[in-house]
Amino acid sequence: MIVMKFGGTSVGDAANIRRVVELVRARRADRPCVVVSAHSGVTDALLDQAQKAVAGKHDVAPLRERHQKICEELGVTVPEHDGLFQELADLLRGISLVAESTPRLLDHVASFGERLSVHTVAAALRAAGVPASAVMAYDAGLKTDSRYQKAKPLPESFDAIAANLATRAEVPVVTGFIAKDAAGSITTIGRNGSDYSASLFGRALRASEIQIWTDVPGVMTADPRLVPDARPIESMTYDEAAEIAFCGGKVLHPATLQPAVEADIPVRVLDTRNPSGPNTVIWREVPPSRPVVRTVVQKRGICLVNIVTPRMLGAHGYMARIFDVAARHEVALDMIATTEISVSATVEDDRRRLPALLAELQTLGEVTIDGQVSAVAVVGHAVGESPETIGAIFSTLAREGIALRMVSMGARRTNVGIVVGEADTARAVQSLHAALCLEPEKAKAATAR
């Protein structure tokens, strides 16, 4: 079996869904399990409607029209959509009556994107003569805990999914992003989570490959939206890809690689609009013998938290207390740097969790927070072991006049992370990419510019 996951743009309109149908049809012999996202922009629109419902001003008509138009252009009728839009309207009306939404309700609202799109894609496959059926991930056995909006899959899911899907004759078209908890409430596994769903299904079904079909030709040397001359990368190790995803490379959800590593399944990232073009395979393969720079990535939407206290001088257990506070508030400290009297850490800018965390950290020292920052990372096998690369990173940023707010490099040296001011992000990524990721001739020309 293989897993084929199609992201929001890949199922964003009728023309793209027709491409999806052809891609699945061409791979029928590999027994595909298809995982799909909501049409592009639909999850944002749903969450926006939930917010509007709180203010008593929601309207699902534009969403309904978008789904109808796609079905009409594909020439399919999808009777299941009526019931789903009725359920959505009822839910939003409920939210508007109580003028309040909770993370649990937001997950329920967000779930409609995938619950609607799987029916459309399954109908398009059937219309093209490919036997297919829409499957809700929770009906297939995907169960999570109840941490709404960032739910964690439970291990019993794998056997349940295998029992439900492994021997199906029809192509299952499964919802990405969503699941249910033990109480039967709908959960989501984090924004951009359909990649993670795909690898969870891949692991459960012992797939021979997990294919992530998206709108770029694989993992690239930088986000092509920011760096137009970014190039696709042919192959990389799980470690490198996990680091790229974790450091903000949106092309993969950060948790995607974990189930693939556990089950030793290659992950391939491909372009739906150019299926025979370049793509990236991510596997356990032997790391390169020399340090290599793969990608320069950026992560926005973070804050830098600084805790300063002379009490740290010569004291034991101070870091443990900080980690303990962060753990209790369920906030991950991503990049960390310490001096004798201060600790700095980057955290996700999460308005639900940060105020309480900061209030408690204040009992440990003087806390300042800088919200106008981004993390930029140079990722690749052993990059941190190459004095030339480290030298080039600092000299490039110095030449550009970009101030560093923090620097971090872990023991595995797959990543050199730098925190810069938000306004410097694009320039930092572009100049580092020109200095480190281009062929020497182009790099010389770019840096001479």
Window 61-120: residues binding ligand ASP (CB under 6 A) = 113
Answer yes or no whether residue 145 interacts with ligand ADP by CB under 6 A.
no
Partner whose binding site includes residue 191, from ligand ADP, Mg ion, ligand ASP, none (CB under 5 to 8 Å by kind) = ligand ASP
Q: How far is the CB of 52 from ligand ASP (least distance, A)?
A: 18
Q: How far is the CB of 8 from ligand ASP (least distance, A)?
A: 5
> What's the rounded Cα separation, in Å, for the pair 219 and 62?
34
* Residues 170-209: x where in contact with ligand ADP by CB under 6 A, - otherwise, as a string: ----------------------x-----------------
Give the one residue of 216, 281, 375, 428 binding ligand ADP; rule: CB under 6 A.
Answer: 216
For residue 114, what are its two tokens?
Answer: 């995938």
C-alpha distances (whole Å) from 103 to each of 185, 196, 335 are 11, 20, 27
Partner whose binding site includes residue 157, from ligand ASP, Mg ion, ligand ADP, none (CB under 5 to 8 Å by kind) = none
Window 23-52: residues binding ligand ASP (CB under 6 A) = 37-38, 43
Answer yes or no whether residue 247 interacts with ligand ADP by CB under 6 A.
no
N- to C-terminal Cα separation, the chain: 50
Nearest Cα residue to 337 out of 416, 397, 391, 284: 416
Contact between residue 134 and residue 173 where contact means Cβ atoms under 8 Å apart: yes
Partner whose binding site includes residue 251, from ligand ADP, ligand ASP, Mg ion, none (CB under 5 to 8 Å by kind) = ligand ADP
Window 7-26: residues binding ligand ASP (CB under 6 A) = 7-8
> What's the rounded Cα separation, in Å, for the pair 265 and 259?
8
Answer yes or no whether residue 295 interacts with ligand ADP by CB under 6 A.
yes
Q: How far is the CB of 153 from ligand ASP (least distance, A)?
A: 15
Partner whose binding site includes residue 177, from ligand ASP, Mg ion, ligand ADP, none (CB under 5 to 8 Å by kind) = ligand ASP
Contact between residue 160 and residue 203 where contact means Cβ atoms under 8 Å apart: no
Q: Which residue has the tokens 């978008």?
A: 66
Stretch that binds ligand ADP, among 144-152, 216-224, 285-293, 319-327 (CB under 6 A): 216-224
Answer yes or no whether residue 194 interacts with ligand ASP by CB under 6 A.
yes
Answer yes or no whether residue 191 interacts with ligand ASP by CB under 6 A.
yes
DSSP assignments along 377-413, one per residue: EEESTTGGG-HHHHHHHHHHHHHHTPPEEEEEE-TT-
Map residue 87 onto helix, strand or coil. helix
Specify which residues 186 forms β-bridges with: 180
Partner whose binding site includes residue 295, from ligand ASP, ligand ADP, Mg ion, none (CB under 5 to 8 Å by kind) = ligand ADP
Decide the pairing of beta strands 2-6 and 32-36: parallel
- Closer residue to ligand ADP in complex, CB, 258/338: 258
Q: Which residues are CB-contacts of 286 (< 8 A; sequence separation ≥ 6)?
A: none
Q: How far is the CB of 295 from ligand ADP (least distance, A)?
A: 5
Four-CA torsion 374, 176, 265, 258, nearest 10 degrees? 40
**Interface with ligand ADP by CB under 6 A: which residues?**
7-10, 37, 192, 214-216, 219-220, 222-225, 249-251, 295, 297
